[in-house]
Amino acid sequence: MQENIKLLIELQGTDSVIFRDKNFIDSMPSKLLSADQAFKEIQSLYEGGKQKVTLLEKKKKDKEKETEDINERIKKIKARASEIKTNKEYQAHLKEIEAIEKERYAIEDEILSIMEAVDAAGKELKAEEIKVKAEKDKVEAFKKQVEKEMAEAEGELSEKKARRSDIADKIDPDMYNEYMKVLKACGGLAVVEARDEICQGCNMNIPPQMFVEIKKNEEINQCPQCRRILYWKEVNE
Ligand SMILES: [Zn+2]
């Protein structure tokens, strides 16, 4: 195989790794961001649940205070019993107590249902808390993994960049320029195999006479359709 073809194949291999690593590194910030967002969503559900429990507990306290006030009122009314002179007054006195007690029962019922709600919300909150913890662990593990993969990609990238400039220095400048043009025009793939008379870049047929030339791997041949540089993969290479 002609040296320039060998170099172009290696250059393409190196560039492909460089593109892959660059894409990988560029995609990481948004992946990290969406992992953080997923965590924040779960956390805000948890905070909402916490707030719900707090509000219910406050409501319960308010109702308990109301009960205390009522008890106080009943006590005061009962204290006035000694001042009662007539049966009519006594009946009115009983009625008054009865009415206030009714009020108290209603509030006590409310307290019971609030307690049930607190219980249910508390259980929900516990479940949310477990989810938050699990998600936090997951995000942290993901971040660690990303850090590791980023370091690997960055290491590989700088190694491949150095290798790339070594290769580029050895290639004929005109060929290198052509390679760069095609690379840009063809989405990062400038050198492809010609297999079964088909360009592996654009999948179009290669004219038979050209295919014969390509198989010799002596000259640079370009696909008549996509302009990619074609080579023949020799079996023993
Ligand atoms: Zn082609």
Residue 236's pLDDT is what?
56
Q: Does the structure show a pLDDT above 90 at 237?
A: no
User: Would you say 54 and 118 are in contact if contact means Cβ atoms under 8 Å apart?
Assistant: no
User: Rounded to an integer, what distance in angstroms lies between the CA atom of residue 207 and that of residue 221?
Assistant: 12
131-180 tens-digit pLDDT? 999 999 999 999 999 999 999 999 999 999 999 999 999 999 999 999 99
Ligand 1 geometric centre to CA of 226 (Å)? 4
The alpha carbon of 203 and the centre of ligand 1 are apart by a number of angstroms equal to 6
Q: Which domains does the chain have, with CATH numbers?
A: 3-171 (1.10.287.1490), 176-231 (no CATH)
**How far apart are the CA of 173 and the centre of ligand 1, in A?**
22
Ligand 1 centroid from CA 148, angstroms? 38
Q: What is the mean pLDDT of the chain?
A: 95
Quote the ligand 1 centre to 160 CA distance (angstroms).
26
CA of 53 to the centre of ligand 1 (A): 66
Specify the pTM. 0.73
183 CA from centroid of ligand 1 (Å): 12
| Distance between Cα 227 and ligand 1 center (Å) | 6
Residues 6+ apart with CB under 8 A from 67: 104, 107, 108, 111
CA of 37 to the centre of ligand 1 (A): 43
Instruction: Out of 59-63, 81-85, 123-127, pick the least confident.
Output: 81-85
How would you classify the pairing of strands 198-199 and 191-195? antiparallel
CA of 8 relative to ligand 1 center, distance in Å: 16
The Å distance, Cα 16 to ligand 1 centre, comes to: 17
- Which pLDDT band, with edges at 50, 70 and 90, does 57 fall under? very high
Are β-strands 229-231 and 191-195 bridged in parallel, bridged antiparallel, or unpaired? parallel
* Residue type for position 2: Q
Task: Tell how far the Cα of 1 is from the centroid of ligand 1, in angstroms.
Answer: 21
**Are the beta carbons of 226 and 203 closer than 8 angstroms?**
no
In 3D, which of 168, 148, 228 has the Cα closest to residue 14?
168
Residue 116 CB neighbours (<10 A)? 11
If you measure from the C-alpha of residue 225 to the centroid of ligand 1, how many angstroms do you get, rounded to a whole number?
Answer: 5
Phi, psi dihedrals of residue 42, rounded to the nearest 5°: -65, -40
How far, in Å, CA of 204 to CA of 148, rounded?
A: 41
Q: Which helix (H) or strand (E) holds 73?
A: helix 3-79
Interval between CA 113 and ligand 1 midpoint (Å)? 75
